[in-house]
Amino acid sequence: MSGGRRGVHPTVLLLLFFGGLSLFGAVWWELIEHRFSLEFDREWWGALAPWREGEALRFVRILTEAGGPLPVAAATVLGALALIVAKRVREGLYLFASMGGALLLFGAVKHLVLRPRPVWRVIEQGGYSFPSGHATMAAALAVAVYVLIAPRIPSAWGRGLVAATLALWPLVIGASRVDLGVHYASDVLAGWGLGASWAALCALAFFHRQRSGQIL
């Protein structure tokens, strides 16, 4: 990873880690306080109703399949191998650790919380609801890809544009899961926080140099 000043500052990664972890923890606490019943979840289910008709629903199904475990796992393995072959071994291992760790984390939390899936789901989906695995993986992927490519983008506005574009991925994947009724909106929020915080923590572990002022 380049040590130039065009990468992601460790302070940004720390903010992302603590912010994501706080979001995840806050949602989990709210679920405990309200016995898994949040008005917020019902409001968002209703708000997405127009996307559950005709071609819109077909498009949403395509989106949610694209963010599923198999496509994301395949992209992760191929991306990590490509980086390793290109002699960017640490970056390849970072990508693998970010995505593999996110997969293990959300699976463990699901079996700890044991939140049932919504009764209003449009498609059938097994397993537990909290947090959304799709949202967790999408957020982790967005952060990991940004960490990997930011040092190679010469301008600040370019990095901002890339960050905004990458943020759309977890947004649309999360919305698709709520729209199909296989997750509550709170599941998605928690997944975003969990995935982003884990990928940020991995970046700090893999790339942060100890000298004061060093930037990834």
| Number of other residues whose CB lies within 10 A of the CB of residue 168 | 11
**For residue 165, with 0-12 CB atoms within 10 Å meaning exposed, 13-18 middle and 19 or more buried, which class applies?**
exposed
CA 13 → CA 21, 84, 215, distances in Å?
Answer: 12, 23, 11
Question: What is the model's pLDDT at position 6?
Answer: 61
Q: At what angle do helices 133-149 and 156-179 cross, to 10 degrees?
A: 170
The mean per-residue pLDDT over the stretch 32-56 comes to 83
Query: pTM of the predicted model, to two decimals?
Result: 0.89
- Kindly indicate the confidence band of residue 209, based on its pLDDT and cuts at 50, 70 and 90: low
Question: What is the model's pLDDT at position 208?
Answer: 72
Location of structure tokens 């390793």:
84
Q: Considering just the CA atoms, what is the radius of gyration of the chain in Å?
A: 18
Q: Is 21 helix (H, G, I), strand (E, B) or coil?
A: helix
- Kindly indicate the confidence band of residue 5, based on its pLDDT and cuts at 50, 70 and 90: very low
The mean per-residue pLDDT over the stretch 171-190 comes to 94
CATH match for 10-33+54-207 among 3.30.70, 2.60.40, 3.40.50, 1.20.144: 1.20.144
Location of structure tokens 């990095």:
159
- Please state, in angstroms and rounded to a whole number, the distance separating the CA atoms of residues 199 and 147: 9
Is the pLDDT reported for residue 212 higher than 90? no
Is the pLDDT reported for residue 4 higher than 50? no
Read off the pLDDT of residues 84-125 as tens digits, 9 standing for 90 and up.
999 999 999 999 999 999 999 999 999 999 999 998 888 888
